Amino acid sequence: MAKEKLPDWDHWKGMPAWKVTEFLLLLQGKDPNDPEAKKIDWKDEKEPGFKTHQKLIRARTAGEFEKFETASKRYRPFGLIEWASNPARGISVPEELQTWAKSLDTKPAGKENNSHHLGEHFAKKREECLGAAIAVIANYPEQSGFKNGKLCGAKITRLIEENAEVFWPDDGAPPLKTKQLEDLITHWIRPSEQLTKTPE
């Protein structure tokens, strides 16, 4: 039997949104990108995550999660984590996710934690990084792949890191790790490939 693949936590923390099934696998300490994990039949009552899956589906249908985009089937990680962390739901949330969520909570002590605040905190990091991406694409059209119509997340990430002091003079580095940054940029490049050019 093949050894279960553990989640690449940095990768998933860097994703702006998760599918319900991806979140369910993370709750179980499984990697959503593992081909074996993708084969799980959540309708099978013998499956360890069956009951949690049922709860997630009911909550999704009731609109209890904040969608990443109106027509999207992906949801903001913070809303999912907060929902699952409610003791009344009887769901075990991995320490990795709990610690991550708490580390992003910068509100004064005594105030209730909420997914909206956590989402805004991480959204600011993404906004800064995407802004830097636009800047390097505009200034380095050839190196970023824009000139030949083939934008590359890895190249754009490298350009951002090489010019990090321009965008973040205090820290001298992007607020996201290299892999998180590349995943974020690539996530937004893919839809752009479907756009048609407007005739001049």
Over residues 93-117, the pLDDT tens digits come to 999 998 887 775 544 444 444 444 5
- Same domain for 15 and 99, yes or no, is yes
- Same domain for 52 and 133, yes or no, is no
Task: Check pLDDT > 50 for residue 27.
Answer: yes
First to last CA, the chain: 58
- Per the rule left: phi > 0, alpha: psi between -120 and 50, beta: everything else, 177 is beta
In a domain, 177, yes or no: yes
Task: Check pLDDT > 90 for residue 123.
Answer: no
More confident residue, 185 or 104: 185
**Which residue, chain included where needed, has tokens 């906004």?**
127
Of 73, 5, 10, the closest CA to residue 35 belongs to 5
- Per the rule left: phi > 0, alpha: psi between -120 and 50, beta: everything else, 110 is left
More confident residue, 151 or 72: 151
Cα separation, 91 vs 109, whole angstroms: 25
Task: Please state the domain count of the chain.
Answer: 2
SS3 label, residue 128: helix
Question: Which of 43, 70, 103 finishes a domain?
Answer: 103
- Residue 141 sits at φ, ψ, to 5 deg, of -60, -35
Overall average pLDDT of the 59-88 stretch: 80
Cα separation, 17 vs 66, whole angstroms: 10
Share of the chain above pLDDT 90, in %: 31
Task: Residue 140: give the domain boundaries.
Answer: 116-192
What distance lies between CA 103 and its chain's CA centroid? 16
Backbone Cα Rg of the chain: 19
- Structure-token pair, residue 106: 């910068």
- Same domain for 131 and 85, yes or no, is no
Hey, which residues does 67 pair with through a beta bridge?
75
pTM: 0.55
pLDDT tens, 158-177? 999 999 999 999 889 998 88
Neighbouring C-beta atoms of residue 179, cutoff 10 Å: 14
Per the document, the length of the chain is: 200
In a domain, 198, yes or no: no
Q: Contact at 8 Å (CB) between 16 and 68?
A: yes
Overall average pLDDT of the 20-49 stretch: 91
Question: Which of 103, 128, 153 finishes a domain?
Answer: 103
- Same domain for 81 and 121, yes or no, is no
Per-residue pLDDT band for 69 (boundaries 50, 70, 90) equals: low
- Structure-token pair, residue 3: 């050894």
Question: Which of 59, 75, 103 finishes a domain?
Answer: 103
- Per the rule left: phi > 0, alpha: psi between -120 and 50, beta: everything else, 172 is left
More confident residue, 67 or 83: 83
